[in-house]
Structure formats: structure tokens, C-alpha cells
Structure 1
Amino acid sequence: MATVKYRIRGKSKQNTSIYIYLSTGRGNFVEVASGFSVNPKDWSTTNNKPKQNSEINRQTFSDLNKLEKFVYDEVNTSNAKGELIDAHWLRSKISECFNRVKKTDQTLLTNHIQFIIDNAQTRKIKGSNKIGLSDRRIAGYKSFLKLTEEYEKVIKKKIHFLDINKRFVDKFTNWMLNEKNYAVNYAGKILDNLKTVCKDAQAIDIDCHPYTDKIEGFRERDEDRYIVTLSFSELEEIRKADIEKEALINARKWLLLGCEIGQRASDLLKLTPDDVRYTKGSYYIDILQQKTGKNVTVGIIAPHVIDIIENGFPYAISTQKLNKHIKDLCDDAGLTEMIKGKKYDKKTRRKKLDYYRKCDLITSHSFRRSFATNYYKKIPTAILINITGHSKESLFLEYINRREDKDDNANLFMKFYEEIHQKKEPEMKVFKNGTNQ
């Protein structure tokens, strides 16, 4: 049976620390500073607590009683879970009891996330010789910190790196999917973030539970993904639609441009005429991708996009407004067939799978996917992924929800082979006649 006691060290005339002593039986005991102090003359050797002879001592007496009860309860809980009860455990329980957390405590998950955010501008970017995290990545860490703090309130304890074992990860995943109703992909990305932060902590010699190396994110199954794209014929319907509102005309320009250059909305909507250059009779758009940091050059050949560049580049607009306008635009263009997809539900504040009009499912993210889908197998994949910014073909195929088809690849090779050899000039051959002359 566990025993909790308090004691002080020394008999100085000044305040001294009060230590909490925890015995769990069979010679197992730990002792750490409680964070409280008392003048030795005010210490009762009868009950091993401060005398209640002043307001401060009465408060300390009450706090120690609160801590004693809290520790007894936590010992039972931890024993049931098979957790190790040591000095680290006891210190963490004291902090939990009084919500007392030091920002300098490097063993806490939230503190290290904040450390990454605070030092974002000087952090080296993995796989490059550049420093400074992107605004998008910093925002991701801030969201992860907010979510972690919310979960700590749910479990009523601060999360230490040594707490992050398989049981913790399983419970955290269950909370995200079943309590928060997060999308599978989003929950999987959160686990990726968790593993990244743990690895970062290990790199500066912060002790982490061995299981952190085994944390794995996940994605929804291919059959559960619903990707909405615009085909070439649908883009032509949008291009020819009779539109009068200036806002929708501007949105149409962004849509047609976006479906031809294959960039994320965050990069697309930053473009200005200054990003377009005319060289040797052709138009090129130079883009520094915000997410990947890659420099991309896209050649423009579609006549209707060249017309947009030459006769009225679209004016700046927010992603939110663009998403609203393109739904109205696609509605006016007649893209109203009912298709299966996921749409944001204001009541649940989550995406709901159902049948909706296609125009209601089109977003600015459809532009890049439409580009990748429409040109897949028509243009070599290596060229496409250099434009979209995907690091490898497998990610590109996952993005458009396609599996690698080896027969298709072989057929494509033969097609290119024939085109190459059809363009070769016929060779002149000399045949010897029967007389050998």
C-alpha cells in the first residue's frame, strides 16, 4: 500500500523546502521537492505539515492535503496501467495537481513545439542548404500545439516525451477520429507531426519513449477518396459560358489559368503580369513554390490562356472569395450533375460524404488536380511532377488517385518510340546488283 509523507531538511531560521516522500511498498520509494516551503519553527513534527498559525501556512497546509490525495489517486491509476512510478513521475504529478509547468521544462511536448515555433526563422530546412521554415509550416506547428494543449485538458495532464508510448498514441488517434471527427488524412498528418517533433527532441538529447520511432501516420484508402476535377470538355464549357458579372469573369480567368499551370492556389493567386516573361516567341511563368521551395517554370501554349495573359490578367482575390465565385461560375456553366463527394457541413463543422451538384464541390484545389489528371499519360510524368512539385511519381499518382499501370507505361513508350522514329529522315541505302558492279 502506498504511503505519502512530508518532511523538511535542516533547521535554519529561514524558509526551507518541503519534500514529499512516496513509498509504494517493498522498498520502493522516491522523494522530491514539493515546490512549497516553510519556516522550520512553523513545522509540526506531530503531523509533518505546517502549523496553521498564519494565513500562508494554512494555505500551504491545505495545498499539501490536496497534493497528498491527488498522489494517492494517481498511484492507483498508474499501478492499474503498469506505469513506472519514479521521481520523474512524482514531479509530473505535482505539476499536474497545481497546473504548475515551467516553460523551460524540455521534457514537455508542448514546450518543444513552442521551441520549434520560436526558432522557426533559424531552423535548417531538411534536404536543403536553406534556413527558415515557411509560413505554412509555422502555421502547421501552431495548429499542432493548439491541438496538443486541447488533448492535455481532456486527459488532465501534461504530456512528457516519455509518456508517448503505443497506448498513448492509440488513445490520441482514437480521440482525433472518433471524438473530434477529424478526416483520416488530417489525423494521419497530426501523427506525422508528432513523430517529427519527437525526432527533433531526440536530436538535442531529450529522452523520448522508444515507441516514438515507430509512430506512423496514415491516409484514407483509395476507395474512400473522392477527387473532383474538371475535364478538358468541361473547361471548354466554362470558357464559353455567357458570364456578365465582373467577379465571375475574373474567377474564370483564375480557373482557366490554374488548370493549365498546375500550381497550388497559394502560389497561383500571387501571380502578377510581372511573373510572365516572353522569350523567343513563347510565354513562360516563373514560380517559387511556397510549400516546396522549388523554382518552377511553366510554358504557356493554350490559346485561351495566352489571350488572358495578353488581354487582361486577372486581378488579385482571396482564396475564400475565389472558392465562392467558382461555384457560381460552374453553376452558370451547367456543371450541375449529381456526383459523390465530401462537402463541409456547417452543423458538424466537418466534411460530409454525400451526393452533391458538381459545381458545389469545385474548389481552387481542383485546378491543380485537373491539370495533373488531364495531362497524365499525355505528357511524360517526369515533366508533370516537375511542374506540380511532387517529389516522386508515387506521390503524384496518389494525388490523382491512380495506380501505376505497367502496360500503360509500356504502351506509352512504344507511342513515343514510333513518334521519334517517324520523324527520322529515310536513310539512303545502296544495294549491290547481281553483277557485283
Structure 2
Amino acid sequence: MATIQFRLRSKANKNVSIKIRLSIDRNNVFEVSTGFSIHPKDWSATTGLPKQTNPENKILSSDLKKLDSFVSKNLNIDLGKGILIDSNWLELKINDCFSRVVKTDIGIITNHIQYIIDNANTRKVKNKIGLSPSTIKNYNLFKNIILEYQKKIKKQIQFIEVTKPFVDKFTNWLINEKKYSTNYAGKQLEILKTVCIDAEKNDIQITPYSKIIQHFRESEKDRYIQTLSFAELEQIKNLDLSNIEYLNQFKKENPELTKNLSITPESLNNIRNWILLGCEIGQRGGDLLEITADNIRYNGKNYYIDLIQQKTNKSVTIGIIAPHVVQIIENHFPKKIPHQKLNEYAKVICKLSGIVEIVKGTKLNTETNRKELGDYPKYELIASHCFRRSFASNYYKKIPTAVLIGITGHSKESLFLTYINQREDKDTNADLFMKFYEEINKDKPAKMVLLPNGTNE
């Protein structure tokens, strides 16, 4: 059981600092200054509090009792949350108890991460100002990971400690203990490097190694992405959802798949329209579900969808020409549903459509909360992010990559190709050039051109 004591560390004939000693167990004992001071002659070693001999001592005694209660209460709360309890924690609680304003230690990594989060709306990124919601979310997640790692190593991490041995141990913890995927672990190292470089710009001392931290991603051979081909989209488009008896029987036979879902012709047709629309416009699930009539524009001949991507803040315009999607926009624009429900329903639609082949991929294990590689029926791996990949994969090499990038919002071709797990095909670029050249010149009359033969004859 944790104990709290107040004591003096000196018997000098002058006012000395009052210390607070927190003992959780034999290996976790912390002592810091309370910020209060008293003359040793006014201190009772028996009670561990000031002697009640004058009004000032009585007030001081009351403050120390208040601090004792505050630390005890917060200790139980924070232990339950798994927060690291150390001298820094104890100092923070003293300051919180008395609402003291103190200068934070800018050399601590978590403090600078919080600084970035707190100033997110005024941070300059390239030619824009303000961090996107997804970037802020990533910083918050990274801060939580660092806090958890600090709890493991039982100390707060300073920028000057980010050396190669530290990064190697941190990487090992991310992959082998936390069981994070290669991509997610690599992303955390990328954010760590970014935070360190940003700290240096704010005149915080960092290590030279922190600026060259190497992050990583899965190799192409280890990546398994799921897309819906044109043929599979045709299966979805032609799916008969009118047989209510069949749908009821399907629900009975697939209790886990359909749990908490309304398996009716109306609800399923709504999801089908989201899938077909999503696979034709190449946007993230969050952006897809935010589309309303206000985003749709008709110029008398064609439909366009104008939107600003939430993640990148990029403005994109998508032309709609596929007849079945035009029909959806004109007559059956889907009703908005929660993002998670879209993912759950998409699996139902795909299974009903016969998209059941066994494929290799990653699936979330709900017990460990980690994705596991394995062989699964394809419908189990389909979610809203597959719609965007399907658009990019289906039209790759059929539409110039630059046009596709303009729609998906990728910043460069290499990222687009990584997204769909493709290598750059320079022959395809050359073939496309020749194809468009022939198209441009097909109506021009051929001209006879005499080439010199290298003689004067």
C-alpha cells in the first residue's frame, strides 16, 4: 500500500524545504520538494506536520493535508490508467494541487509533441497553415505510444537520449512486444524523426542520429491489398435483393456477419449504391460518406463531384460517366450511414454477390486487436478503403496515371503506385504516349518526306 510522508532534510537554523515522500513499493520511492518551507523548530517529527503554534503553521499544515489527499486520490486514478508514476508525476501533481504555473521541460519528447498538438491550427505545412485532423490524430496516438514506452522503461524520454541504441530498442518493443504491423511501427519512427527535427527548429538540443532515423514499410511481396474488379462489381450491380425470404434465411445462416444489421432490400440496396459509387470516384471512406447534393454539379451534359479531402485538404473534381453511377446520382443517391456500418454491410453485400474466393490478406483479431496475415474468404476483407483502391487499380494503365492521381489526391506517382502495389511500368507510359499521338494525328493527311541518302546524287 502506498504511503505519503512529509519531512525535512535539514536541521539548519533557518527555513528549509519541506519534502514529500511517496512510497508505492520497495522499488518505487520518490521524494521531491513541496515548494513550502519552514524553520525546523516549528516542525513536529511526531506528526510529520508543522506544530500548531501560530496561524501561519496552521495554514501550512492545512495545505500539506490538502496535498496528501490530492496525491492519494490521483495516484489511484492514474495507476488505474497505467500512467507512469515517477518524480515528474509527483511534481506535476503538486503544481496541479495548488494551480501553480511552471515552465515545462522542453527537452522532454512528450512535452514537444503536446506543443505541436496545441499549436496545430497555426502550424505551417508547405504552403498551407494548420494540420489536418488525421495528422493531429496521429500525433495524439504517437504521444500515447511514447507514454506507454516510458512506463515500461520507467523514465521520461529526453530528446538527447534519442540515439541509435534507443531507437533500436524502441523498434524492437513496437514490433516484438506490441506486435504492431511493419507499416505502423515504421510510421511511428517516421513521426519520431519529424518531432525531433521540429524540436531542433525550436532551439531544443537533439542528437545528430535523430535526424537520420530510418523508417520502413512492408516490401511489395509482403503487401496484400484487396480490390473489387470490374467483373466483381458487375456481380454486385446485378445482385437480386428482392427475395425477402432468402435474405431472412441468409441472416439466420450468418449470425456473426449480420449481427446488429438490418438485412432488408432497402438497407442492402443503399449499401450497394455506396459501394458502386465509391469504386467509381476513388475517394476515402470518410470523404465518400460526406458527399451530398451540394457536392454534385451538372453542366447540362455531365455530372461532376467536387469535394475537399479531409486528410489532405485537397480540392478534387471527379467526372461521372458510368451509366449505373449516373443513375444512382439521379434516382437513388444513398443515405448516409456510420463509417463502421458501411464496412460491416460491405462484407454482407460481397458474400451475397458470391465474392467468396479464398485470398491471402490481413484481418483484425478482435482478441489481440492486431491484424493477422492468413487465408480468408475475400468478402471478409472488404471495407470502404477497398473502394478507393479498386478505382485506382481498375483504371490503372487504362487512364493516364496523372489523371488518376488528380482524382485520388496522391501527391506523386510513386505513392500512387505503392498504394495499389504496382511498380512503375515505363513501357506503359511510352505506349500511352504513342496511343494518344496516333489519336491526335489520325485525321491528318499523310505526307511524303524525302530523306537524304548521304550522297549528292
Q: What TM-score do you get using the length of structure 1 for normalisation?
A: 0.78
Q: Distance in 2 between matches of 1:53 and 1:331?
A: 75
User: Where does residue 199 of structure 1 map in the other structure?
Assistant: 197
Task: Choose from 306, 311, 314 the match for 1:294.
Answer: 314
User: Where does residue 16 of structure 2 map in the other structure?
Assistant: 15
Superposition deviation, residue 348 in structure 1 = 2.1
- Give the match's secondary structure for 1:323: helix
Q: Distance in 1 between matches of 2:415 and 2:369?
A: 29
User: Where does residue 441 of structure 2 map in the other structure?
Assistant: 421
- Give the match's secondary structure for 1:377: coil
User: Where does residue 48 of structure 2 map in the other structure?
Assistant: 55
Aligned partner of 1:199: which letter?
I
Task: Choose from 398, 403, 406 the match for 1:383.
Answer: 403
The structure 1 segments of at least 4 consecutive aligned residues displaced by more than 3 Å after TM superposition are: 6-12, 33-43, 50-54, 93-103
Stretches of structure 1 that go unaligned for 5 or more consecutive residues are 1-5, 19-32, 44-49, 58-92, 430-437
Matched ranges for 1:299-310 at <5 A: 299-310=319-330
- Give the match's secondary structure for 2:33: strand
Q: Distance in 2 between matches of 1:97 and 1:388?
A: 45
Q: Distance in 2 between matches of 1:346 and 1:267?
A: 26
Counterparts in 2 of 1:97 and 1:147: CA distance versus 1, 3 Å: closer
Counterparts in 2 of 1:207 and 1:252: CA distance versus 1, 3 Å: same
Task: Choose from 145, 168, 182 the match for 1:184.
Answer: 182
Q: Distance in 2 between matches of 1:17 and 1:310?
A: 75
Q: Deviations over 1:196-219 (max 9, x none)?
A: 111221111111122110112210
Q: Distance in 2 between matches of 1:11 and 1:390?
A: 71
Task: State percent identity of aligned pairs.
Answer: 54
Counterparts in 2 of 1:382 and 1:52: CA distance versus 1, 3 Å: same
Asked if the contact 1:96/1:156 (under 8 Å) is kept, the reply is no
Aligned partner of 1:425: which letter?
K
- Give the match's secondary structure for 1:342: strand
User: Where does residue 350 of structure 2 map in the other structure?
Assistant: 330
- Give the match's secondary structure for 1:182: coil
Superposition deviation, residue 142 in structure 1 = 1.3
Q: Deviations over 1:65-90 (max 9, x none)?
A: xxxxxxxxxxxxxxxxxxxxxxxxxx
Superposition deviation, residue 163 in structure 1 = 1.3
User: Where does residue 268 of structure 1 map in the other structure?
Assistant: 288
Q: Distance in 2 between matches of 1:198 and 1:219?
A: 20
Report the count of equivalent residues.
368
Asked if the contact 2:113/2:143 (under 8 Å) is kept, the reply is yes
Query: Quick check: 1:258 aligned with 2:278?
Result: yes
Q: What TM-score do you get using the length of structure 2 for normalisation?
A: 0.74
User: Where does residue 63 of structure 2 map in the other structure?
Assistant: none
- Give the match's secondary structure for 2:390: helix
User: Where does residue 347 of structure 1 map in the other structure?
Assistant: 367
Counterparts in 2 of 1:323 and 1:97: CA distance versus 1, 3 Å: closer
Q: Distance in 2 between matches of 1:300 and 1:235?
A: 16
Superposition deviation, residue 280 in structure 1 = 4.0
Superposition deviation, residue 312 in structure 1 = 1.5
Superposition deviation, residue 415 in structure 1 = 2.1
Superposition deviation, residue 413 in structure 1 = 2.1
- Give the match's secondary structure for 2:112: helix
Matched ranges for 1:100-179 at <5 A: 104-124=104-124, 126-128=125-127, 130-179=128-177
Asked if the contact 2:270/2:335 (under 8 Å) is kept, the reply is yes
- Give the match's secondary structure for 1:227: coil
Asked if the contact 1:10/1:16 (under 8 Å) is kept, the reply is no
Aligned partner of 1:233: which letter?
A
Counterparts in 2 of 1:155 and 1:100: CA distance versus 1, 3 Å: farther
- Give the match's secondary structure for 1:402: coil
Counterparts in 2 of 1:97 and 1:326: CA distance versus 1, 3 Å: closer
Asked if the contact 1:253/1:308 (under 8 Å) is kept, the reply is yes
Counterparts in 2 of 1:38 and 1:94: CA distance versus 1, 3 Å: farther
Asked if the contact 2:32/2:90 (under 8 Å) is kept, the reply is no
Q: Distance in 1 between matches of 2:49 and 2:310?
A: 56
Stretches of structure 2 that go unaligned for 5 or more consecutive residues are 1-7, 20-30, 51-84, 94-101, 243-264, 449-457
Superposition deviation, residue 121 in structure 1 = 2.0
Q: Deviations over 1:274-307 (max 9, x none)?
A: 1100014110000101111111011101000000
Aligned partner of 1:15: which letter?
V
